[in-house]
Amino acid sequence: MDKERIKGKAQDIAGRVERQVGEWTDNDKAQADGAAKQAEGKTRNVVGKMKDGVRDMADKLKGEHEDRVERDEDVA
């Protein structure tokens, strides 16, 4: 799991808490700041998921390439 996903999830949760406290205390600034942190956290999480997907695909292609090279060596 990419570090960006972990940071994003933590930031999302912190933003939710801040936004909720802002709602309970009727603090518009806290609500807005919390919502902004939440959005940034969700974005970081998505970026981390994309990095994981790219890394997984690269590993898969590398494995397929190694298998192909191994088969070619057996034929030769």
pLDDT tens digits, one per residue of 1-10: 888 999 999 9
Structural contact between residues 14 and 36, judged by C-beta atoms closer than 8 angstroms: no
Strands (E), 1-76: none
pLDDT in tens, 25-53: 999 999 999 999 999 999 999 999 999 99
pLDDT of residue 71: 73
What is the identity of the amino acid at 66?
E
Each domain of the chain, given as residue ranges in start order, spans 3-75
Dist CA 42 CA 40 (whole Å): 5
Is pTM, for the whole model, over 0.85?
no
Q: How far is CA 8 from the centre of its chain?
A: 6
**8 Å CB contact between 18 and 32:** no
